[in-house]
Amino acid sequence: HTPSAVLLLMFLQWVRILFDFSGYSDIAIGLAKTMGLELPPNFRFPYIARNIADFWQRWHMSLSSWIRDYIYIPLGGSRHGPGRKFLNLLLTMFICGLWHGADWHFGVWGVYQGLGLAIHSVWEKIHKNPSPGSVGLWARIGFTNLFTAYGWLIFFYPLQNVFEYTKTLFFL
């Protein structure tokens, strides 16, 4: 593998999963309309998210809200201090990962997402008002997409493959 090949794979998985999940949701919404039911949208342009928290508010919104309401909040949410919030985010997203399948890479993907959300939460407290400039906005969107694209490697592939891809990306 070469770093450019791994980046291409990340990009292709990034597109694939959006088309898969969003497409299935659009089919369900369309079928419901034929029966006179109005379902809410399930994806709201997640790849223009400015950060990982924004991504999860836009991505698979029915699953995200269910996980928030039935796992994160009952665990205590952000109550009980930042340490407990950090743990609750990790546990919640770990469970979300296992919901996708009973394999380690799904659990690791969940922990990866939980760490991203926890680190973003701390970052947001430190940097309360990020610069509104377009360069800063595009940089945040780009970083969020790199973060999620790498996450899709974890989501789709066994951990041994992810280790190899990571070594390739960082020339190790």
State pLDDT tens for residues 86-103: 999 999 999 999 999 999
Q: What percent of the chain has pLDDT over 90?
A: 83
Confidence band of 137 (pLDDT split at 50, 70, 90): confident
**Catalytic pick from 1, 100, 105, 120?**
100
pLDDT at 10: 96
172: confidence class by pLDDT, cuts 50, 70, 90: confident
Is 100 noted as a catalytic residue in this protein? yes
Provide the pLDDT for residue 134: 73
Number of continuous H segments (helices) and E segments (strands) in the chain: 7, 0
Helices 3-34 and 159-169, axial angle in degrees (round to 10): 130
pTM over 0.85, yes/no = yes
Q: Are 94 and 107 in contact (CB under 8 A)?
A: yes
Other C-beta atoms lying within 10 Å of the C-beta of residue 151: 22
